């Protein structure tokens, strides 16, 4: 049935495209697989009716209106549901929203304040926009980088009053979030746009109504990776604008520049449907996820050989998302990387990520109880076993990021002629590219930054442990060729 009334109870884009696809209208348009008929049989048999939804803009499905009529309606419902002035659906991950954020503020000043624990998409946004970052040092919690302090931001705004914006990541990949309200007030007072990478957030308000998020502090712009925790399909996200954001055209032009001209209506439908699900069931979904997370924490907290990152390590005002579990088995002699391999191969349990020290588990509202039990058993076994790594480290150490002014902006560095050098020989050189473990995709160095001996040693140690880094090809990294 076609929907032409728009309320939170409807998912107009999803439902109208589904209704259209069921009408049996002969298709002489893209995509070429014709509702899956043309796909390889195995792929077709797995796709079922979802393949019928793999469409792009069609006037018929859009109630005979302009091609993005239903997309705009669906985005308007999302803006209402999530407390934004305007919301844009993203089909190329939170990454594209972050890049668009930088493009939309370029021009007002040459520099931007950026929390150093930023994702690679931030570096890409800086290259595209030409903005030069002034890096803000994070607050460190047990070797994990978190939202910079209010004082750090205040000092930076005093030193650099003419910046195009303040860009922060909150919560981090690890789920630790910080106090945003006072930071937002500082930015509002100085009329500096506050832009947030909330790729791992958005759901916190369902768990803790006091958690300070983009919508509750009226940030100027915040980006969600909706697919990460909130249930929409992979690659989907949302970009939200707060009530102060003036230049909607700049955001729309940036998204147009970066987006495909054939966005997947399957992915957009998933966002529309997820908005409805969150609106009516968000509280229930995330209460369940948080309870599962807490039940795991309760069972593993006292285990010898295991260190759980929890509230007792956090500074005042910081919190940890109960649906993210970060722990270390180094007291039992397991590096995060080795423990991940054993968990997967021996116990059939796959964490989200592992690094030198930590294992990261994301707990979903859709998690089965049996999976949770299996995880607790696996962790209990590993914590009781002596691991091979003999590191016995008590404390995780932060990676050796430099928070010094860059020699060149990331765009200037990316535009210079480059050469490749074995990473061991790159000390003292200016990077032309970046190096990062992925996930979480926080660069060890960025284009325009000097490569230090500490960074090279960190790479050596990480690789010795079996860790994989992007940005290193056949042992070489890209540097500027002076
Ligand atoms: C903090 C952070 N921001 C942005 C992104 C990019 O998100 P996406 O993969 O949806 O493009 C990621 C990806 O993991 C991330 O961890």
CATH number where 322 lies:
3.90.1150.10
Residues at CB less than 6 angstroms from ligand 1: 93-95, 98, 119, 121, 169, 173, 197, 199-200, 225, 237, 439-441
Mutate to test the pocket of ligand 1, among 90, 91, 94 (most ligand atoms within 8 A of CB): 94
Who's near 50: CB < 8 A, 6+ residues apart? 266
Is 394 domain-assigned?
no
Q: Are residues 62 and 15 both part of a single domain?
A: yes
Question: Is residue 42 located within the same domain as residue 185?
Answer: no
- Tell me: do 91 and 214 sit in the same domain: yes
251 occurs within a structural domain? yes
Domain annotation covers residue 275: no
Alpha-carbon distance values, 325 to 91, 199, 212 (Å) = 28, 17, 20
Question: Residue 394 pLDDT more than 70?
Answer: no
Residue 403 located in a structural domain: no
Specify whether 360 is located in the same domain as 243. Answer: no
Give me ligand 1 centre to Cα 470, in Å: 15
Residues sharing a CB contact under 8 Å with residue 45, sequence separation 6 or more, in sequence order: none
Q: How far is the CA of 95 from the centre of ligand 1 (A)?
A: 6
By most ligand atoms within 8 Å of CB, the mutation choice from 98, 119, 147, 440 for ligand 1 is: 119
Shared domain check, 227 and 94: yes
One domain for residues 452 and 375 = no
Full-prediction pTM beyond 0.95? yes
Q: Whose CA is nearest to atom 9 of ligand 1?
A: 93
At a CB cut-off of 8 Å and minimum separation 6, what does 336 contact? 328, 329, 330, 354, 355, 356, 357, 358, 359
| Residues 174 and 135 both lie in one domain | yes
Point out the domain boundary residue: 43, 67, 91: 67
Which residue's alpha carbon is at the smallest distance from atom 7 of ligand 1? Answer: 94
Would you say how long the chain is, in residues?
Answer: 482
| Residue pointed to by tokens 């996930």 | 439
Structural domain tally of the chain? 4
pLDDT confidence tier of residue 466, bands split at 50, 70 and 90: confident
Tell me, yes or no, whether 160 and 245 share the same domain: yes
The candidate with the shortest Cα–Cα distance to 448, out of 199, 183, 123, is 123
Q: Has residue 278 been placed in a domain?
A: no
Model confidence over 421-445: pLDDT tens digits? 999 999 999 999 999 998 899 999 9
Cα–Cα distance, 9 to 354 (Å, whole number): 40
Gap from CA of 38 to ligand 1 centroid (Å):
33
Tell the residue nearest (CA) to atom 13 of ligand 1. 440
CA of 225 to the centre of ligand 1 (A): 6
How far apart, in whole angstroms, are the C-alpha atoms of residue 115 and residue 166?
8
**CATH number of the domain enclosing 464:** 3.90.100.10
pLDDT at position 104 over 60: yes
Final residue in a domain of this structure, among 264, 296, 329: 264
Range of the domain at 464: 410-480
Nearest to 20 by CA among 55, 47, 65: 55
User: How confident is the model over 134-150, as a mean pLDDT?
Assistant: 97
Q: Mean per-residue pLDDT for 69-88?
A: 98
What confidence tier does 314 reach under pLDDT thresholds 50, 70, 90? Answer: very high
Residue 401 is assigned to a structural domain of this protein: no
Ligand 1 atom nearest the C-alpha of 98 is 4
Closest CA to 106 of 139, 137, 133, 67: 133
Cα 200 to ligand 1 centre (Å): 8
Q: Give the pLDDT of residue 198.
A: 98
pLDDT higher for 396 or 136? 136
Query: Are 59 and 134 part of one and the same domain?
Result: no
Would you place residue 4 in the very low, low, confident or very high pLDDT band (cuts 50, 70, 90)? confident
pLDDT confidence of 391, banded at 50, 70, 90? low
- Same structural domain for residues 246 and 377? no
> Do 170 and 214 belong together in one domain?
yes
d(CA 374, CA 371) in angstroms, rounded, equals: 5
pLDDT band at 139 (very low <50, low <70, confident <90, very high): very high
- Measured distance between the N- and C-terminal CA atoms of the chain, rounded to whole angstroms: 65
Of 384, 401, 421, which one is at a domain's C-terminal end? 384
Confidence of residue 392 (pLDDT cuts 50, 70, 90): low
Burial of 317 from C-beta contacts in 10 A (0-12 / 13-18 / 19+): middle
Give the helix ranges, DSSP H, for 106-232: 120-129, 150-159, 181-190, 204-207, 226-229
Domain-embedded: residue 444:
yes
Please tell me the residue having the least CA distance from ligand 1 atom 10.
Answer: 93
- pLDDT of 393 reads 61
- Compute, in angstroms, the gap from residue 367 CA to the centroid of ligand 1: 22
Please state, rounded to an integer, the average pLDDT across all residues of the chain.
95
Q: Are strands 86-90 and 307-308 parallel, antiparallel or unpaired?
A: unpaired
Pair (242, 302) in one structural domain: no
> Sorting pLDDT into bands at 50, 70 and 90, what band is 351?
very high
For residue 389, being part of any structural domain is answered with no
CATH code for the domain in which residue 144 is found: 3.40.640.10
Q: What pLDDT is recorded for position 423?
A: 97
In the predicted structure, residue 5 carries a pLDDT above the cut 90: no
Measured distance CA(182)–CA(180) in Å, rounded: 6
CA of 325 to the centre of ligand 1 (A): 18
């Amino acid at each position: 049935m076609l929907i032409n009334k728009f309320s939170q109870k409807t998912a107009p884009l999803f439902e109208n495209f589904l209704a259209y696809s069921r009408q049996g209208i002969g298709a002489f348009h893209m995509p070429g697989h014709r509702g899956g008929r043309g796909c390889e049989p195995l792929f077709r048999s797995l796709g079922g009716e979802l393949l019928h939804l793999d469409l792009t803009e069609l006037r018929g499905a859009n109630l005979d209106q302009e091609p993005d009529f239903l997309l705009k309606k669906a985005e308007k419902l999302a803006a209402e549901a999530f407390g934004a002035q305007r919301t844009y659906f993203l089909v190329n991950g939170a990454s594209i929203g972050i890049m668009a954020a930088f493009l939309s503020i370029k021009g007002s000043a040459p520099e931007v304040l950026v929390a150093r624990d930023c994702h690679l998409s931030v570096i890409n946004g800086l290259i595209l926009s030409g903005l030069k970052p002034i890096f803000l040092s994070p607050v460190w919690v047990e070797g994990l980088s978190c939202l910079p302090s209010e004082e750090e931001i205040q000092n930076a705004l005093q030193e650099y009053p003419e910046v195009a914006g303040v860009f922060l990541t909150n919560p981090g990949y690890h789920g630790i979030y910080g106090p945003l309200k006072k930071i937002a007030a500082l930015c509002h007072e100085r009329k500096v746009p506050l832009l947030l990478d909330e790729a791992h957030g958005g759901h916190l308000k369902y768990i803790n109504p006091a958690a300070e998020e983009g919508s509750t502090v009226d940030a100027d712009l915040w980006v969600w990776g909706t697919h990460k925790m909130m249930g929409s399909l992979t690659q989907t996200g949302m970009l939200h604008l707060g009530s102060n954001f003036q230049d909607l055209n700049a955001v729309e032009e940036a998204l147009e520049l970066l987006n495909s001209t054939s966005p997947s209506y399957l992915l957009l439908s998933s966002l529309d449907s997820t908005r409805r699900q969150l609106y009516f069931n968000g509280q229930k979904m995330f209460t369940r996820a948080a309870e599962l997370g807490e039940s795991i924490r309760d069972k593993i907290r006292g285990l010898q050989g295991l260190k759980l990152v929890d509230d007792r390590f956090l500074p005042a005002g910081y919190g940890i998302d109960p649906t993210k579990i970060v722990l270390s088995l180094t007291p039992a002699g397991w590096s995060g990387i080795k423990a991940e391999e054993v968990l997967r191969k021996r116990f059939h349990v796959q964490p989200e990520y592992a690094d030198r020290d930590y294992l990261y588990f994301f707990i979903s509202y859709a998690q089965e109880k049996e999976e949770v039990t299996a995880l607790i058993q696996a962790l209990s076994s590993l914590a009781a076993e002596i691991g091979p790594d003999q590191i016995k480290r008590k404390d995780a150490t932060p990676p050796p990021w430099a928070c010094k002014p860059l020699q060149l902006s990331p765009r200037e560095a990316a535009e210079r002629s480059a050469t490749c050098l074995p990473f061991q020989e790159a000390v003292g050189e200016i990077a032309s590219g970046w190096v990062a473990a992925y996930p979480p995709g926080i660069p060890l160095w960025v284009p325009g930054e000097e490569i230090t001996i500490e960074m090279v040693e960190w790479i050596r140690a990480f690789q010795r442990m079996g860790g994989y880094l992007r940005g290193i090809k056949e042992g070489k990294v890209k540097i500027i060729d002076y």
